[in-house]
Amino acid sequence: MKFSLFYVLECPDRDYKRAYDEMFEQIEYAESLGFEGVWLAEHHGTAYGSMPSPQVAAAAIARRTKTMTIGVAVTILPFAHPVRIAEDWAMVDVISGGRLHLGVGRGYQPGEFKNLGVSHLQPVSRDVFAEELEIILGLWTNETFSYQGTYYQLENVRVTPQPVQKPHPPIYVAAISPETFSLVADLGLNMLVTPTLMALPELTQFTVDAKRKLAEKGRDPLSLNFPMNWQIHLAESEERGKQRTKAAFDWYFDAVMSLVPKGPNAPKTYDRYAALAAEVEQAGGLTVEALQEMGVVLIGTPADAIEQIEQLRDEMGLQELLCWMRVGGLEHEKVMDSIRRFGEEVIPVMKDREPVVPKAMREEPVEARA
């Protein structure tokens, strides 16, 4: 199994220089402990996330690390022209010596679409996303590329530099809705998944269904790496972990629920978010205990982490875990302690685990279609 860090880089106090410095220190420390990758998230205009250009951070990380893969989870395709996205991330792949993993998504926060002057694209973001993804793949796998779509038209466009990795860097699609899971399966790509806005059992079922669909199309189930992003804090006890993280988790979930599409005016292709927001509001908000019950967060000891990761490996076929340690701007020393516990006590136990087919697929094998 592979273990990576993940950063939205929430910054409640808006001290962005400190936040960036702490992130770099945490990443370098994690690499020394055996973490194999780091993933960055793109967000705009709020303290919820402070990396509007994750490619800038990725290039800096490439010069501070030696072996870590450097991923983005995700770059939001409707927020920029696909040629520019292809160029920027090709540069990161070159600077890092071929360590880029590209995660892509369509965005979900209405305020970000508004801030960037593209609110008109949110209702059609799924279609825009599909066009941009096709263009990026075309630009990375052809010397020149032409395209005639509804939203983009290109004629003999060349991207320089080209990525180091051939035919292109690994590409993952962020998905929390059933419709996007189906799109990923149809494209034959891998997914990035997260239980942040979905209970873990439901996420597991969606993931297994997507893997089954891909297997039916002829993909080897063991080749299906769907990295899962999980909010994690390790301490000497579960109770101590809750005490150390309560304020940070409360801030984070209040922030995210204030930003998701909700209410009767939510775009139709964001029904999933609106329904989840309504459920949370009806339940009177989210508590850490409720989040643990749903499997949205992992707070406990290294032994607890090993047990739960083993379960995910068995049930979901999990091959890579993205450890979101710096949740809600959690204090640096607490994050470093959690990273240390994970690196010293969890990674040595789990790193040599071989990939497995999800339990449900082992019990009911899939026959690939000819």
Per-residue pLDDT of 144-178, as tens digits, reads: 999 999 999 999 999 999 999 999 999 999 976 66
pLDDT of residue 213: 85
pLDDT of residue 285: 66
Give domain status of residue 263, yes or no: no
Residue 213: helix, strand or coil by DSSP?
Answer: helix
Give domain status of residue 251, yes or no: no
Residue 78's nearest CA partner among 40, 41, 112, 39 is 112
Task: Give the pLDDT confidence of 245-254 residue by residue, as tens digits.
Answer: 999 999 998 8
Mean pLDDT, the chain, whole residue set: 91
**Gap between the Cα atoms of 147 and 165, Å rounded:** 23
Residue 24's nearest CA partner among 50, 63, 55 is 63
The pair phi, psi for residue 285, each rounded to 5°, is: 100, 180
Give domain status of residue 347, yes or no: yes
Give domain status of residue 119, yes or no: yes
245 Cβ contact partners less than 8 Å away, ≥ 6 residues apart: 233, 288, 299, 327, 328, 330, 334
Q: Which domain holds residue 196?
A: 2-246+295-363
Give domain status of residue 355, yes or no: yes
Task: Give the pLDDT confidence of 87-137 residue by residue, as tens digits.
Answer: 999 999 999 999 999 999 999 899 999 999 999 999 999 999 999 999 999
* Chain centroid to CA 53: 16
Give domain status of residue 255, yes or no: no
**Gap between the Cα atoms of 165 and 285, Å rounded:** 45
**Model pTM score:** 0.92
pLDDT of residue 257: 83
The b-or-e profile of 171-209 (16+ CB within 10 A means b, else e) is: bbbbbbbeebbebbbeeebbbbbbbbbbebeebbebbbb
**122 DSSP 8-state letter:** G
**259 DSSP 8-state letter:** H
Q: Of 211-220, 315-324, 361-370, where does mean pLDDT reach its minimum?
A: 361-370
pLDDT of residue 282: 63
pLDDT of residue 370: 44
Give domain status of residue 83, yes or no: yes
**Gap between the Cα atoms of 353 and 349, Å rounded:** 8
pLDDT: which is higher, 274 or 134: 134
**177 DSSP 8-state letter:** S
Return the percentage of the chain with pLDDT > 70, whole number. Answer: 90
Give me the number of domains the chain comprises. Answer: 1
- The enclosing domain of 349 has a CATH number of 3.20.20.30
Give domain status of residue 36, yes or no: yes
